Structure 1
Amino acid sequence: MVKRRSLKGDYCPSARSLDVIGDWWSLLIVRDAFDGLTRFGEFQKGLGIAKNILSERLRTLIARGILEAVPAADGGAHQEYRLTAMGRDLFPVMVALRQWGEQHLFAPGEEHSKLVERDTGLPVRLDVRVNDGRPAGPDNTVILKVPELDQD
């Protein structure tokens, strides 16, 4: 198996983000944490993930500041996993992935889960805009890259 290269020092924010949260099990654990799951057994049952893989992903998410392990709310001997502020900041990422999947991966009329506002039941939609309120997209944005330093 090829050793994963760290992107921790990369100049690109997308690369650094993927270094922290870039595998599908981790994103599915975060998704389930947003859905209110907190216990190891809940994650394992819901995802159908092997216990050793789940243990490793939970350790990594804790080490990277996405989740924290806390004593059980019911006072039991087990611990629970909760999103940190950093983890909760992944909400727009999860909404963007959801919207992309809704648009491209389902047939017209095919049923799928929906994200709605709790109080009103209205669908949630992520909308990317420039600071002045205009819509932003690939045709009217550009990435200003950090100049590469001469290695000589």
Structure 2
Amino acid sequence: MARDDAAGRNLAWTDPNCPVARAVDVVGDRWSLLIIRDAMDGARSFTDFQQRTGIARNILADRLRKLVAHGLIAQVEAPTGKRRVYALTPAGKDLFPVIVTLRQWGERHAYDAGETHSVLVDDHGAVVPPVVPVAADGRPLTSDTTTVRKPA
């Protein structure tokens, strides 16, 4: 039976022992990740998110509520003090490597050769290099060189 905690978070996890499954339960739908992406790119208001994504208003309201409930986005006072806007929390900002990795996967696998797309650059204008997980000794890691240790 699904139940919510005091913050409105659903506690019926897809796989309670798997961090990937829990993360997907929180941000695994298309709209949530695009909202996080746009927040990282400066979107702050409901209108900003709606215009950037084209998402239906009711779905956007639902996803923003969910992201707030899970502590990824917070509503804060706008600089003008006339309304509230959305801002990434530290937990939301922690999704930056995930967004970069998804972007880089998309650059490699979701476009035809020569097809144009946006590019992520650092504050000096250089293209962000590929994100590669590494072992403690610096060796690149892959699914062939790692295993999951499950709880007993």
**TM-score above 0.5:** yes
| CA positional deviation for 1:5 | 8.8
Partner of 2:107: 102
**The one of 123, 134, 137 aligned to 2:127:** 123
RMSD (CA atoms)? 1.6
Partner of 2:47: 41
Contact 2:15 2:21 in 1 (8 A): no
| CA positional deviation for 1:6 | 2.8
What letter is aligned with 1:141? Answer: T
Which whole-Å deviations, capped at 9, do the CAs of 1:30-82 have from their partners, x for residues lacking one? 00000000000011111111111111110100000000000111222x21000
- Could you tell me how far apart the structure 2 residues matched to 1:85 and 1:137 are? 27
| CA positional deviation for 1:146 | 1.8
> Are 1:145 and 2:116 matched, yes or no?
no
- Could you tell me how far apart the structure 2 residues matched to 1:43 and 1:83 are? 13
Identity of aligned residues (%): 48
1:24-39 aligned at under 5 Å gives the runs 24-39=30-45
How many pairs align?
142
Secondary structure of the corresponding residue to residue 86 of structure 2 = strand
Contact 1:6 1:19 in 2 (8 A): no
Compute the TM-score of the two structures, normalised by the length of structure 2: 0.88
Secondary structure of the corresponding residue to residue 100 of structure 1 = helix
**The one of 86, 89, 110 aligned to 2:91:** 86
Compute the TM-score of the two structures, normalised by the length of structure 1: 0.88
Secondary structure of the corresponding residue to residue 80 of structure 1 = strand
- Could you tell me how far apart the structure 2 residues matched to 1:84 and 1:132 are? 31
Contact 1:26 1:57 in 2 (8 A): yes
My pick for the range that moved more, 4-13 or 136-145, is 4-13
- Could you tell me how far apart the structure 2 residues matched to 1:5 and 1:65 are? 15
What letter is aligned with 1:126? Answer: V
| CA positional deviation for 1:108 | 1.0
